[in-house]
Structure 1
Amino acid sequence: MIEEGNAATMTTARHRWSAVWGMAVWMVPALMLMSGATLAQERKTVVASFTIMADMARQVAGDELEVISIVPPGAEIHEYAPTPRDILKARQADLILYNGMGLERWFQRFYQGMEKVPTAVLTEGIEPIDLGEGPYQGRPNPHAWMTPGNGLIYVENIRQALVALDPAQAEIYDRNARAYSERLEALDRELTSAFGRIPDAQRTLATCEGAFSYLTRAYGFRERYLWAVNAEQEGSPQQVRRLIDDLNADQVPVTFCESTVNDRAMKQVTSETGARYGGVLYVDSLSRSEGPVPDYETLLRYNARQIQKGFGLE
């Protein structure tokens, strides 16, 4: 038989234990969340100007750094208008990566007031191809990443920037960069073989923007386009007429257009030359993860397949 005093004591103890247990049940997830937040905060943040640079940086960084893109998937890079949220992301970053060569025409103004955040220009060391016409004539064509050979230079510049930012993890960045570079070297051989199947007499690449100069030089194409680089004037009557004349003279069988621009002018060119429209190529942006080009390597392979199919090669 339990005495009344002891029973009361035990009831009180049970209530206290229940209260403590309830608090523990509540606190464990909270502590886990706090721990996760702490771990997230410990990872340094790298901000890249657009999706392709961000993907390349993630390949080198692995899980050691948080990498985010300013320009979202599918957006046009040249004339992008950064939002207040974009500016906040960059101000809080530990490193900013950008292409350079005048690609991000908004960048210098965007970067004002962020001089304490280090930057790295990823085209450092690339031999530029100058634009031959348009409002930016004489300046470098900025689309240097369009060959895996140049991609190797991007990777090395990223590796150096990440090692400088986080030297404690240098071995990881070196290893990731080496593995990534080996994949790009293999991809270069793959593209050389794929494009080599196109007869030399037909090897003219006709696109909306002149964004393929590095690819055409690397793989032996002639280049034709409506406009040199995305700007305010795109697809003017003069541009359309000139390309029609060029394609008729060269007997070009197929045309393409980039994913981030309007293809209406190129459809007109295609109709008036009797060529066929080969579809969309990706240059300035990756797709979302569920789309056709969620990463840089896939983008280059996708474009190569589209070009092959356009020339009647499956």
Structure 2
Amino acid sequence: MLEDIAENVAGDRLRVDSITKVGAEIHGYEPTPRDVAKASEADLILDNGLNLEAWFGQFVESVDVPHVVVSDGVEVLDITEDANAGKPNPHAWMSALNAQIYVDNMVAAFSDLEPAYSAEFAENGEAYKRKLEELHQKMINKLDSLPDNERALVSCEGAFSYLARDSGLREKYIWPVNAEQQATPQQITSAIEFVKTNEVPAVFCESTVSDKPMQQVVRATDASFGGTLYVDSLSESDGPVPTYLDLIRHDADTIVAALTGGAE
């Protein structure tokens, strides 16, 4: 996602490359010697921050390259459960409003790197932010008609706290962070009880993890499986979310369609 956003801000003035590949599970990624060599040749490194890249601290110390945390300035939400309780929820980019802050940080960083093109970076950034605002407003407008009990977002990972906050949805998840692939019986039971109590019409899971735990929730309740959401990775170029804007649009449309019964 950061690569795609950065390319939109940079235009053709900078070369942007991502260390991680499409489909990678970002939380536990293990950098290769080639990654280190590639990064050491860069003029600038961007990272999300907020403990998303658990491996990143050691990685960035191994190369003598300045780096910028693109989530700086975001109003951080904390994880509220399990061993990670009290730590920042790192998935700030799942808010199109937060992504505007990412863009501003990139504009500033790129302008420092190449001052001659600062006006161009700023113009690119403003154009991209307008697209983000349009997506946000479209999602809000579509969700406005939902009754209170259906204004809930139930997912496998707690990756949607920022999106839920922006759109007035209550959030429920099976596990808070993708640190483990197997959900505990207690976590599944808690999700089932939430769905039943609130008569939630649909539930979701993310593309980088198995949806089997959530399918147990579906079988135990009246909820349907609303679809696959994208969080930690874009898809290949011929997939459903080849760009960050596509990711936000796809997730918003999937959530809205499932919770509203397909109503536009």
- The TM-score by the shorter chain falls in which range? over 0.9
Counting only pairs closer than 5 Å after superposition, residues 201-240 of structure 1 correspond to structure 2 as 201-232=149-180, 234-240=182-188
Is 1:296 the counterpart of 2:236? The answer is no
- Please report how far the alpha carbon of residue 308 of structure 1 lies from its aligned counterpart in structure 2 after TM superposition: 1.9
SS of 1:66 mapped into structure 2: coil
Q: Which amino acid aligns with 2:80?
A: G
Is 1:107 the counterpart of 2:56? The answer is yes
Counting only pairs closer than 5 Å after superposition, residues 129-148 of structure 1 correspond to structure 2 as 129-148=77-96
Cα shift readout 1:34-77 (whole Å, capped 9, x = no counterpart) = xxxxxxxxxxxxxxxxxx01111000000111101111111111
Q: Aligned partners of 1:113, 1:75: CA distance in 2, in Å?
A: 22
Tell me the equivalent position of 1:161.
109
Over the aligned positions, Cα root-mean-square deviation in angstroms equals 1.2
Q: Which amino acid aligns with 2:174?
A: L
Gaps of 5+ in 2: none
Check conservation: 1:134, 1:229, Cα contact below 8 A: no
- Please report how far the alpha carbon of residue 105 of structure 1 lies from its aligned counterpart in structure 2 after TM superposition: 0.4
Tell me the equivalent position of 1:75.
24
Tell me the equivalent position of 1:88.
37
SS of 2:52 mapped into structure 1: coil
Structure with higher RCO (Cα < 8 A, 6+ apart): 2
Q: Rg larger in 1 or in 2?
A: 1
Gaps of 5+ in 1: 1-51
Is 1:307 the counterpart of 2:231? The answer is no
**Aligned mate of 1:246, from 165, 181, 194:** 194
SS of 1:279 mapped into structure 2: strand
- Please report how far the alpha carbon of residue 245 of structure 1 lies from its aligned counterpart in structure 2 after TM superposition: 1.4
TM-score by length of 2: 0.96
Check conservation: 2:49, 2:70, Cα contact below 8 A: yes
Aligned length: 262
Q: Which amino acid aligns with 1:304?
A: A
Q: Aligned partners of 1:272, 1:73: CA distance in 2, in Å?
A: 33
Check conservation: 1:194, 1:304, Cα contact below 8 A: no
Check conservation: 1:248, 1:273, Cα contact below 8 A: yes
Tell me the equivalent position of 1:22.
none
- Please report how far the alpha carbon of residue 233 of structure 1 lies from its aligned counterpart in structure 2 after TM superposition: 5.7
SS of 2:17 mapped into structure 1: strand
Tell me the equivalent position of 1:28.
none
Check conservation: 2:27, 2:54, Cα contact below 8 A: yes
Q: Aligned partners of 2:182, 2:106: CA distance in 1, in Å?
A: 33
Q: Aligned partners of 2:194, 2:137: CA distance in 1, in Å?
A: 30
Q: Aligned partners of 1:146, 1:199: CA distance in 2, in Å?
A: 23
Is 1:275 the counterpart of 2:223? The answer is yes
Cα shift readout 1:186-245 (whole Å, capped 9, x = no counterpart) = 222112112223333211110000100011111110111000111136411111111111
Check conservation: 2:149, 2:200, Cα contact below 8 A: no
SS of 1:69 mapped into structure 2: coil
TM-score by length of 1: 0.81
